[in-house]
Amino acid sequence: MAVRIRLSRHGKKGYAFYHIVVANSRAPRDGKFIEKLGVYDPNQKPAHVNFNFERALHWVQTGAVPTDTCRSLLSHLGVMYKNHLLKGVKKGAMSLEQAESKFNLWKEQKDLKLRNEREQLLEKQKNLKKKQFEAETKVREAKALAIAKKKTAVKGEGSENTEN
């Protein structure tokens, strides 16, 4: 039986989220699956992925083939790299401690990069809101000035009419 790690679509039209599942390659996309590994929500910025790392690693090691999208998700989260390091341990290229230290270093760098991206995104959103507020303030002040000019013009005309 050919086993694949793939996405199962859920949610409403135009606003989908996905379950990361292990399924027989001949089963339908949203049909029967062997095990649910987690959830992928591309609607959030940045996309939210929540899954069981150990089970995903187990399935990759036992030969489950991920689809292209799942492969990129698993690579992004470190499952494929950990699998690569563990293959090196099995071949005797490095010890388990060296593999763990390499993986932890990679994970720390990845987390730092993600944290920086989130901070930049939040900063960008704050700046955008600040610019919008400043633009609204300028428009509001211009309208208030125009209303004040109209009022002074009406008062000025009213005083000229009473003098005649």
Tell me, what CATH number does 72's domain have? 3.30.1320.10
Instruction: Give the span between the Cα atoms of 94 and 87, in whole angstroms.
Output: 10
Any bridge partners for residue 36, and if so which?
21
Instruction: Give the span between the Cα atoms of 7 and 98, in whole angstroms.
Output: 33
Residue 56, domain member (yes or no): yes
Cα–Cα distance list, 76 to 13, 53, 57, 128, 140 (Å): 27, 12, 13, 29, 47
Q: Give the three-state DSSP class for 43.
A: coil
Residue 82, domain member (yes or no): yes
Classify burial at 157, counting beta carbons within 10 Å of its beta carbon; exposed 0-12, middle 13-18, buried 19 or more: exposed
pLDDT digits (tens, 9 = 90+) for 87-117: 999 998 889 999 999 999 999 999 999 899 8
Name residues whose C-beta falls within 8 Å of residue 45's C-beta, 6 or more positions apart in sequence: 121
pLDDT (average), residues 130-152: 90
Record the pTM: 0.71
Residue 124, domain member (yes or no): no
pLDDT at residue 164 is higher than 80: no
Cα–Cα distance list, 113 to 49, 118, 119, 152 (Å): 16, 9, 10, 58
Q: In the prediction, which pLDDT does 161 show?
A: 58
Confidence of residue 160 (pLDDT cuts 50, 70, 90): low
Q: In the prediction, which pLDDT does 55 show?
A: 94
Residue 59, domain member (yes or no): yes
Q: In the prediction, which pLDDT does 124 show?
A: 92
> CA nearest 4: which of 89, 164, 100, 28?
28
Residue 55, domain member (yes or no): yes
Residue 32, domain member (yes or no): yes
Instruction: Give the span between the Cα atoms of 25 and 31, in whole angstroms.
Output: 11
pLDDT at residue 159 is higher than 70: no
pLDDT digits (tens, 9 = 90+) for 10-24: 999 999 999 999 999
Residue 12, domain member (yes or no): yes
pLDDT digits (tens, 9 = 90+) for 46-88: 788 999 999 999 999 999 999 999 999 999 999 999 999 999 9
Domain hosting 26: range is 3-94
pLDDT at residue 163 is higher than 60: no
Q: How many domains does the chain have?
A: 1
